[in-house]
Amino acid sequence: MSLTVRGLVAGRAKVPVVRDLDIDAPDGTVLAVLGPNGAGKSTLMLTLAGLLPRLGGEVAVDGNALSSGNPLRANRSGVVLVPDNRALFTGLTVADNVSIARRRGGMSDADVQELFPALEARWKGAAGSLSGGEQQMLAVARALVQKPSVLLIDELSMGLAPVIVESLLPMVRRIADTSGATVVLVEQHVRLALEVADDALVLVHGEVTLRGSARDLRRYPDRLRQAYFGGEPAHATS
């Protein structure tokens, strides 16, 4: 299902952090949201998930408008967030973490284990005993068993070594291709994110300073660098 955002204003304590944001992300595509620390990326993700009320604008999944600040309604509409802190039940087993989150029609245990072979070997072990990379796999797996239409992944690479990130990010492409879900990926590893994304935007101080296809953004590294310093809003091909 597609994600449509029009004129979104998002913030905390009624203070705008993201302003007048538009998004069109069709089903089966990956949108990379890039930008420096403090740009408003996590605020955007929490707002899309309904965990923060919108200060303005509209959000719709497959043409159906979502209520502001209603995480249960957003989740029932297929919006699932993988937060940057993973939010695992570390005292429970991997299997229990997956089972608790499962929704009818979501990935089966066998599907999860095929996608993440490392988790199969740790299936009966405590989530807290997993490595950082394995915990991130579990956080994504827990989202996938909820049958997401829109999968929000906030900082997949948080706290992970670059070699682990290189092995995890291609999984995002596979998820979009095989499940048909729309994936919104907030990521600091720009090059790797652009390799798996269809489209991307750069968010600086809550405003989009560059947007375009991931391929075009890879072709214009100078514009990408300039966008991080808050240049005028533009398209990569302009």
Domain ranges of the chain: 1-73+148-157+182-238
What is the Rg, in whole angstroms, of the alpha carbon atoms belonging to the chain? 17
**Can you tell me which residue has the tokens 């990926």?**
185
| Structure tokens belonging to residue 6 | 């029009």
DSSP, collapsed to helix, strand or coil, labels residue 174 as helix
Q: Angle at the Cα of 183 (from 57 to 23), degrees rounded to 5? A: 30
- Whole-angstrom Cα distance, residue 177 to residue 171? 10
pLDDT of 230 strictly over 80: no
Residue among 19, 3, 21, 22 nearest 11 (CA): 19
- Whole-angstrom Cα distance, residue 146 to residue 116? 16
Q: What is the pLDDT of residue 238?
A: 45
| Structure tokens belonging to residue 79 | 């919006």
The answer to whether the CB of 2 falls within 8 A of the CB of 47 is no
CATH fold group of domain 1-73+148-157+182-238? Rossmann fold (3.40.50)
How much is the mean pLDDT over the chain? 92
- What integer is the mean pLDDT of 91-118? 92
| Structure tokens belonging to residue 208 | 């989009």
Q: What is the pLDDT of residue 87?
A: 87
The answer to whether the CB of 97 falls within 8 A of the CB of 89 is yes
Q: What is the pLDDT of residue 232?
A: 56
Residue among 29, 73, 30 nearest 48 (CA): 73
Which sign, positive or negative, has the C-alpha torsion 78, 110, 172, 27? Answer: negative
- Whole-angstrom Cα distance, residue 96 to residue 81? 19
Q: What is the pLDDT of residue 105?
A: 84
**Can you tell me which residue has the tokens 């449509």?**
4
Q: How many CB atoms lie within 10 A of CB 208?
A: 21
pTM of the model as a whole: 0.91
- Whole-angstrom Cα distance, residue 129 to residue 111? 22
- Whole-angstrom Cα distance, residue 132 to residue 90? 12
**Can you tell me which residue has the tokens 């043409």?**
63
- What integer is the mean pLDDT of 178-196? 94
Q: 236: pLDDT confidence band, cut at 50, 70 and 90?
A: low
**Percentage above 90 pLDDT, the chain:** 77
Which sign, positive or negative, has the C-alpha torsion 48, 179, 139, 131? Answer: negative
pLDDT of 156 strictly over 80: yes
Residue among 146, 145, 167 nearest 156 (CA): 167
